[in-house]
Amino acid sequence: MSAMPLAGVMKNVVNAWYQNGLFNLWLGCIGLATAYYLIPKVINRPIYSYNLASIGFWSWIFLGGLTAMTRLSGGPVPAYLVTISIAASILMIIPIATLTVNFVRTMKGHTGLMASSPTLRFTFVGTIFFSIAAGLSVISALRSVDSYTHFTPWNYGQMHTVTLGFFSMVMFGAIYYITPRLVGCEWLSRTFMKLHFFGTAYGAGTIIALFLFGGLATGFVLNEPTADKMGFYNVSGIANAYMPVKTYIGYVLFGGAQVIFAFHFLLMRLRIGQPSGEPTLLETPGEGH
């Protein structure tokens, strides 16, 4: 028996719900679980508060699934659905605050280890991107803000903050931790690891910032009284002014970093690395002093 196809506005409702589940409940939970494992493991101390961890987890699961309809604010959907999602988005401050405090307090007194540990550096920077992404989702859920950011590249900036900034950084941290334990040797070059980190972090940051700034610039012009005279496509061209920088700097940095990582990972896969023993660090303790 075939499933009944969705019609009309329900297609948009289901699509919004699916995308929200993918970013919040799938990528978000995998990334957070990985960070909760790796950070205490690398610094060799327990997480700051298991009570905060429980509050953050359950509030994230409960509220994260209710925020989907903010994507359809102003659209032809029942107003109560959008209002519930806006309220849930504002309440997301609870898991955001508890998760951020838990990570920061866990790292207190151990931030110096980020200078040497690639796993810790990638993972903790990923949690910073998580807080930024979650904060952006709260802000953009407000109708007053959404009136400026809807139909603009701002939404792409939010998605890239989750995927490139948070999820990819945490997963790279996991790969740097797990791979040596699987293949029986350490990473070959700390220079490759440094280039990978800086290219990924600065490349992702550039892409995200330009999407956000381009979205705001477009939104402000769209809300000008003369916007209808300019025409939508002429107004949207304002965002394209940010494209060359985003393409030639952001994507080149990010893409180049991944080429370096792919080559480095291939060497590890072929067991062309340092003999198993002391881990390959970004710098040896005391080197930077």
**Under DSSP, is residue 49 helix (H, G, I), strand (E, B) or coil?**
coil
CATH code of the domain covering residue 238: 1.20.210.10
Q: Tell whether 4 is covered by a domain.
A: no
Q: What is the mean pLDDT of residues 171-190?
A: 92
Q: Tell whether 288 is covered by a domain.
A: no
Is pLDDT above 90 for 98? yes
Q: Tell whether 1 is covered by a domain.
A: no
Range ranked top by mean pLDDT from 51-65, 211-225, 273-287 = 51-65
Q: What is the pTM of this model?
A: 0.89
Is pLDDT above 80 for 79? yes
Q: Tell whether 147 is covered by a domain.
A: yes
Q: What is the mean pLDDT of residues 45-61?
A: 92
Q: What is the mean pLDDT of residues 100-108?
A: 93
Q: Tell whether 131 is covered by a domain.
A: yes
| pLDDT score recorded for residue 289 | 47
State percent of the chain over pLDDT 90: 52
- Number of Cβ within 10 Å of residue 78's Cβ equals 12
Place of tokens 């896969």: 269
| pLDDT score recorded for residue 1 | 44
| pLDDT score recorded for residue 195 | 96
Q: Tell whether 17 is covered by a domain.
A: yes
Q: Tell whether 208 is covered by a domain.
A: yes
Under 8 Å between Cβ of 133 and 169: no
- Number of Cβ within 10 Å of residue 252's Cβ equals 14
Q: What is the mean pLDDT of residues 124-131?
A: 95
The pLDDT-based confidence of 241 (bands split at 50, 70, 90) is low
The residue among 218 and 141 whose pLDDT is bigger is 141
* Relative orientation angle of helices 168-183 and 252-269, to the nearest 10 degrees: 20
Residues of the domain holding 52:
12-275
Q: Tell whether 6 is covered by a domain.
A: no
Q: Using the 8-state DSSP alphabet, how is residue 44 labeled? A: T
Specify the number of domains making up the chain. 1
Under 8 Å between Cβ of 196 and 119: no
Is pLDDT above 80 for 276? no
